[in-house]
Amino acid sequence: MFGFTLQCIFVLGQIFLFVSARKTRDMIYTDVTGFSACVRRFNATHQIGCSSDFHGNTGVIHYMASVSDVQWLLDVGPHKPYIALMEPQVFLLPTVNKLTKSGKVSGIMVININSSQVIDEDFYFSPDLKCPNDNFGFYSSDNISSEYAHCGSVEWNPAGNGMNFMDFDIPIISLYNETEVQYLIKCYKDHNEPVNNRAQSYPLCAAELHSFMFGAKDTPTCMRRTQQTTNLEVSVFCDPIGDFNVWMTLKPTNKDNPLQEQSLIVAAAQIDSFSLFYNVQPGRGAEHAASSYITLLAVAQALGALNTNIKQNMTDIMFAFFQGESYDYIGSSRMVYDMLNGSFPYIPDASKTQPAFVTLKDIRYFLELNQLALVKNGNVYAHIDPITYPQTKTQTDELLDNLQMATFGNITIKRPDILNQPVPPASFQQFLRSKVKVPGIVLTDHQTEYQNNYYNSRFDSPELINIEEDYTSQVSPLAVELSEIATTVARALYKLARPHATDEESIRANVSTIHEMLYCFLVKANCPLFRSVVSKTESERLSNVSYDAYVGVFGTDQGSLGNFVYRLLGYFTGNLTWTEHNDSDETKDQCKDSDSDQISHYFFMQGPNPEDGYGYCVKSNVNLAKAQSPAFIDGQEDWTSTQYSTWTESQWSSTAFSARVYLKPSPEQESVIFCLGMVVVLMSLLVSYFFNARANILFSSI
Amino acid sequence: MNLERVSDTDKLELCRKYYVGGFFFLPFLWFINFIWFFREAFIRPPFDEQKQMKKYLIKSCIGSVLWTAALVTWITLFQLNRAGWGPTADAISFIIPKGIP
């Protein structure tokens, strides 16, 4: 009876505990989830980026809103290690260097809630080098006159601090959730804030950051270890970065009709950019890349709308969108490499219908668009390479003249005042580097140094170029300006392709499409334009923020941003057929590529007015070309290459990124509790020994 | 096994088996041999088989000391130099540590 009630009480007690249970863990820690971390990358010789220790980095939180807070930690702070919670204005290279050298800091958290509050006249932040892509451009290669090498004549990115290319062995994270940031600051103010310049005593608010990276040392080491098959466990340490270049020709070509020399006009732009932090709050490259590829898409749209008869009688125009340019010209170096080896666009395959092979000698003019959002007084600058200009004078002058004659609206195309100024870092430099004298011009909004003080950073955002966060149908001034540039470029290319034409005035870029593209690429991917170029199921999965402009790891699928460049290009220049389509039944998909045809490519889109079960099948000659550095081509890898990009990104586990906040007791209290525990263990050992020795007395059955 | 219940000849046989076994790259067998039969061979009053047992044990002891020295040297060398040896070190490692050169 007694035993039964005891059991009842026991069971009820368990149920009660279960229902009202709070995990002990939740009573101690508060998780921080709204952050993105700085990750580790490698090239042929170096390791860059950040990583935490395997078990995470812990430290007492110290909030820094000004330089005096930083000094306090360096001079006074007694409770090392600290984790610095920094306002963005304080997160600058000299400060970070001071903190890491002092040995008192085991991690950094950067507050990144509202970038528009930070962007102002006095604050510059560009984690790229002062001379971007220095050793892989035209001017630093062998046999080139050294006056232009290593930005000898003009330092393109004076705001650059090179932080992206430094090796920090502490984790650095960027916090974007306002509630959590307020929580951290409150925790600091309640427990840690120094009073009268004197530190508070324990318990103190502390944080633990995890961002452990698997790879180490450099690309050859981590790639070799990844490919090693003789170990017990198969581990991936790092992966090469890359994606796909998007390119097309205005009229389809066939290898049965090879291209004549000097018969192609190339118009190019760069798609990617980067920032210090990975994935969330990506580099969107608003000013740096988006302004140029969106303009080029508008040019493609304007020229794509031309009559087929007209297109047949024109010199062909090739549009190329390069990926991976920010990391030592991955996309353009691969395209040039393939062109030199006769495998552009595809490796020759007798069984397939393939587009005509393109070599560098086939290029008559090369026009690149690069950084166009900060145009001042309508001046767009045309940069010409001084070293090859003497040999390419005729064509380069033709290109420049046509651009200047075609100017539309408030746009003026000028050469920079300083003659003999080199071409800025651009994909065109890779074409020059090939030793073939390609005539070309790079159009930018800057005459000498960049106008952009936030090149390749998290601040190169829509706010920088005055794009509204809210969706509005009223076009922005930037869209109007870009449309004028696009019209100029489109008319110039048209005149170059059809020198005797007189109807170039009919070519106009579409302002509202540009406005839409700016919103979709930079603010929110789930927008009407993007929804119309995908199928219904895909449109339901569109992101509510913008897609990442970081090139990412090279794989079989194209990244999201590039995929939309591909689709928009197809939509603007391809043949659309109204067709029936069953989203759920893949086998009935009529609208797909055939294995033997590499010229035409197909995809399905639901169109601007979606109708269930129907949509458009787009047939276009928009192609994808691998943007994988030649240093990583299967069978001929050269991981120590100094000619081609060798950038790789470290691997990390799926649970690699985590952060939590807790109250840390004093070391003395921690030791006391530990010793107490040891004492209890020893006592219990003694007691059980005693019980064992006297067992016959204690447990006698009487 | 309780050595008290084993006859002396059997003890010597066991000791010999452990001694021989140690030559097959099993230094721990030598070490155990030495520890287990130490009392029998050196502390107990003399018996017939004790002389031979002593010989086995001394050889086992020397063997295990040599092995320990060799292992300690190799392990120290490897731990200190693994990062510096690059590809060769990776080729002879079963598990390559993550996150460090």
State the pLDDT at residue A17.
64
Q: Judge: A235–B98 Cβ closer than 8 Å, yes or no.
A: yes
- Please report whether residue B70 resides in a domain: yes
- C-alpha span between A307 and A144 (Å, rounded): 44
DSSP string over A78-100:
-S-SEEEEE-TTT--HHHHHHHH
State the pLDDT at residue A281.
61
Contact partners, residue A354, CB within 8 Å, separation at least 6: A254, A255, A345, A346, A348, A598, A599
Mutate to test the interface with B, among A218, A228, A651, A653 (most CBs of B within 10 A): A228
β-bridge mates for residue A247, sequence order: A320, A623
- Please report whether residue B1 resides in a domain: no
In tens, the pLDDT along A634-688 reads: 999 999 999 999 999 999 999 999 999 999 999 999 999 999 999 999 999 999 9
pLDDT above 80 for A117:
no
Chain A contact present for B88, CB below 8 A: no
- Please report whether residue B96 resides in a domain: no
- C-alpha span between A429 and A422 (Å, rounded): 10
Backbone angles phi, psi at A658, to 5 degrees: -150, 155
In tens, the pLDDT along A406-454 reads: 999 999 999 999 888 999 999 999 999 998 999 999 999 999 999 999 9
* Of residues B87, B95, B101, nearest to A224 (C-beta): B87
pLDDT grade for A389, boundaries at 50, 70 and 90: very high
Note whether A675 and A668 are within 8 A (CB). no
Q: Which of A529, A479, A480, A483 is nearest to A507 (CA)?
A: A483
CA A43 to chain centre: 17
Q: Which residue of A has its CA nearest to B85?
A: A221
pLDDT above 80 for A396:
yes
Q: Which of B37, B12, B10, B33 is nearest to B21 (CA)?
A: B33
- C-alpha span between A291 and A293 (Å, rounded): 6
Residue found under tokens 């006249």: A121
Mutate to test the interface with A, among B93, B95, B96, B100 (most CBs of A within 10 A): B96
A-B C-beta contacts closer than 8 Å: 36
Backbone angles phi, psi at A413, to 5 degrees: -105, 125
Nearest Cα of chain A lies from the Cα of B63 at a distance, in angstroms, of 30
Contacts of B101 in chain A (CB under 8 A): 216-217, 221
HSE of A163, CA atoms in CB hemisphere, 13 A: 27
E-strand stretches of A566-686: 575-580, 601-605, 614-620, 622-628, 648-650, 657-664
pLDDT above 80 for A457:
yes
State the pLDDT at residue A20.
65
State the pLDDT at residue A231.
74
- C-alpha span between A55 and A33 (Å, rounded): 18
Contacts of A45 in chain B (CB under 8 A): none
- Please report whether residue B101 resides in a domain: no
In tens, the pLDDT along A499-544 reads: 998 888 899 999 999 999 999 999 999 999 999 999 888 999 998 8
Are β-strands A172-175 and A35-37 bridged in parallel, bridged antiparallel, or unpaired? Answer: antiparallel
How many structural domains comprise chain B?
Answer: 1
- Please report whether residue B56 resides in a domain: yes
pLDDT grade for A83, boundaries at 50, 70 and 90: very high
Host H or E run for residue A211: strand A204-211
Nearest Cα of chain A lies from the Cα of B20 at a distance, in angstroms, of 31
- C-alpha span between A46 and A647 (Å, rounded): 10
DSSP for residue A180: H
**Number of helical (H) and strand (E) elements in chain A, helices listed first:** 19, 24
- Please report whether residue B76 resides in a domain: yes
β-bridge mates for residue A198, sequence order: A195
Note whether A598 and A590 are within 8 A (CB). no
pLDDT above 70 for A575:
yes
In tens, the pLDDT along A147-200 reads: 888 898 899 999 999 999 999 989 999 999 999 999 999 999 999 999 998 999
pLDDT above 80 for A695:
yes
Contacts of B98 in chain A (CB under 8 A): 54, 212, 214-216, 235, 237
Note whether A152 and A146 are within 8 A (CB). yes
CA distances from A374 to A117, A371, A452, A466 (A): 19, 8, 7, 10
CA distances from A68 to A63, A64, A340 (A): 11, 8, 57
pTM score, whole prediction: 0.91
- Please report whether residue B98 resides in a domain: no
- Count Cβ atoms within 10 A of the Cβ of residue A177 and give its class: 0-12 exposed, 13-18 middle, 19 or more buried: middle
Domain carrying residue B57? 7-91
Backbone angles phi, psi at A305, to 5 degrees: -80, -5
State the pLDDT at residue A283.
59
- C-alpha span between A155 and A132 (Å, rounded): 9
Q: Which stretches of A594-666 are DSSP H helices?
A: none
- Please report whether residue B2 resides in a domain: no
Note whether A342 and A243 are within 8 A (CB). no
**Number of helical (H) and strand (E) elements in chain B, helices listed first:** 4, 0
Q: Judge: B95–A237 Cβ closer than 8 Å, yes or no.
A: no
This model of the complex carries an ipTM of: 0.81
Chain A contact present for B84, CB below 8 A: no
- C-alpha span between B41 and B49 (Å, rounded): 9
Tell me the two tokens of residue A302.
Answer: 């304007």
- C-alpha span between A639 and A538 (Å, rounded): 38
pLDDT above 90 for A611:
no
